Amino acid sequence: MPSCVLAYSGGLDTSVILCWLQEQGYEVHAVYVDLGQPCEDRQAILDKAKNLGAASSRIVDAQEELCRDFAFPVMQWQARYEGLYLLGTSIARPLISKVCLQVAREVGADAYAHGATGKGNDQCRFQLAAEALRPDIEMIAPWRNEKFRAAFPGRTEMIEYCEAKNIPIKATAGKPYSSDENCLHISYEAGKLEELTTNGLDLVEFGMGVSPQEAPDKAEQVTVSFESGVPTKLNGKSLSPLEMVNTLNEIGGRNGVGRIDVVENRFVGMKSRGVYEAPGMTVLYEAHRLLEQLTLDRDLAHLRDRLSPEVAELVYYGFWYAAKFDALLSFIRTAQEPVTGDVTLNLYKGNILVASRQSPNSLYDEGIASMEGGGAYNQTDAEGFLRIHGLPLRVQGKVRPREY
């Protein structure tokens, strides 16, 4: 009997797929990669896979790795897909593939199955990561299988299938939007969220915090300390990467930080609508950006900013294990060496306001920057600076006069 590993979440799609794969003759090994999903009962998910007939089922805790080796390097790039999305789901998929392939090697499976649809980005992220790590792996994507789609044209039929087989699921016909959860964020899409006239922030039952309107009427202050671009302390207390993210999720969440509603461009070409919440990472992105203002050289910071959208695209599209991305990760490690210091923020009803920032590597010189007299900067030097920079403009102005 052929065997496969299934990236198993315990949700609607993968519960149906686990049963369907067995009907196709596969021995299925269910792998739940624990990424700190805040709204799920892990033991219930493990038991559910066993009850559905999985040959084996296991939970692999990869939360620390997700924060340390995946989320923090992307944050150091200040990478936001299309200027808004902090890539919480995108970052997690290559790690899920890595863990599933490790299990496949252990149990002797030659196939890797996932529940991503043929319309979405996740199929790209799962498969591109798997092919880079194990080029000979057989990929099983049921949503790209005509026989599977004939049996399950949509979520309604899948819900009915689960009800007929007494498979417990969260999605219902009355609440058909889907969610993806990890310690970095929760994303919500599909169902009524596909109607752009629907107010997504009102419709979704958020799992990581309160709305800005419900947040306290008093600002809460936090101080984040960084060492070479890595957040290491919160309010003076040393925390692991996971502890940092989880604690800031609590603090940011209760202050209404980190909710967005976007229409984005998927890798496969269509536009889609998603609602996201990422309170902890939103705080870290802002604290990191403020510290970089002190510590990064102008030209280095501007180069990083020009490359940042490309990094976001690579992560969003699924090219984590690609040569170009390897090189970009090496670049950011070097660029982040001076990014050490403390940033104090006030969180207030969804807003993040800077209170103070300091660094032993600060390039800010108050004496030079001051509008007051004195200091090491001689304003007369600007005369020659501007004459040199203005030379091409003066030449062009004589040769090709502009109307004004």
CATH number of the domain where residue 198 is located? 3.90.1260.10
Question: Which of 135, 154, 177 lies at the terminal end of a domain, its last residue?
Answer: 177
How far is Cα 74 from Cα 93, in angstroms, rounded to an integer?
A: 14
Residues 243 and 170 in one domain: no
Angle at 92 between CA 90 and CA 98, to 5 degrees: 120
Residues 230 and 135 in one domain: no
Residues 135 and 193 in one domain: no
pLDDT score of 336: 98
Residues 215 and 262 in one domain: yes
Read off φ and ψ for residue 232, nearest 5 degrees: -120, -25
Instruction: Assign 39 a pLDDT band (cuts: 50, 70, 90).
Output: low
Domain harbouring 129, CATH code? 3.40.50.620
Full-model pTM = 0.93
Q: Is residue 270 part of a domain?
A: yes
How far is Cα 375 from Cα 370, in angstroms, rounded to an integer?
A: 8
Question: Which of 144, 177, 210 lies at the terminal end of a domain, its last residue?
Answer: 177
pLDDT score of 165: 83
Residues 20 and 153 in one domain: yes
Contact 119, 218 (CB under 8 A): no
Residues 297 and 333 in one domain: yes
How far is Cα 364 from Cα 269, in angstroms, rounded to an integer?
A: 44
Mean pLDDT score of the chain, rounded to an integer? 94
Q: Is residue 243 part of a domain?
A: yes
Instruction: Assign 177 a pLDDT band (cuts: 50, 70, 90).
Output: confident
How far is Cα 12 from Cα 4, in angstroms, rounded to an integer?
A: 19
Cα 311 → chain centroid:
12
Residues 123 and 257 in one domain: no
Residues 131 and 22 in one domain: yes
Residues 240 and 147 in one domain: no
Strands of the sheet containing 138-140, edge to edge, are 56-61, 27-34, 3-7, 111-113, 138-140
Q: Is residue 94 part of a domain?
A: yes
Q: What is the pLDDT of residues 56-100, one digit of tens each?
A: 999 999 999 999 999 999 999 999 999 999 999 999 999 999 999
pLDDT score of 179: 83
Residues carrying an active site annotation: 13, 93, 122, 178
Contact 220, 346 (CB under 8 A): yes
Domains in the chain, number: 2
Q: Is residue 353 part of a domain?
A: yes
Residues 211 and 240 in one domain: yes
The DSSP H or E segment spanning 281 is helix 279-295
Please state the rounded mean pLDDT for residues 292-301.
Answer: 98
- What is the DSSP code string of 108-120? T--EEE----TTS
Residues 168 and 201 in one domain: no
pLDDT score of 175: 62
Q: Is residue 402 part of a domain?
A: no
Question: Which of 152, 177, 202 lies at the terminal end of a domain, its last residue?
Answer: 177
Residues 258 and 343 in one domain: yes
Q: What is the pLDDT of residues 328-346, one digit of tens each?
A: 999 999 999 999 999 999 9
Contact 28, 6 (CB under 8 A): yes
Least confident of 42-46, 124-128, 354-358: 42-46
Q: Is residue 138 part of a domain?
A: yes
| Tokens standing for residue 119 | 């319309």
Q: Which structural domain range is residue 326 located in?
A: 186-358
Q: Is residue 382 part of a domain?
A: no
Q: What is the pLDDT of residues 229-273, one digit of tens each?
A: 999 999 999 999 999 999 999 999 999 999 999 999 999 999 999
| Tokens standing for residue 54 | 């999985």
β-bridge mates for residue 187, sequence order: 180, 276
Q: Is residue 377 part of a domain?
A: no
The DSSP H or E segment spanning 48 is helix 42-51
Contact 49, 30 (CB under 8 A): yes
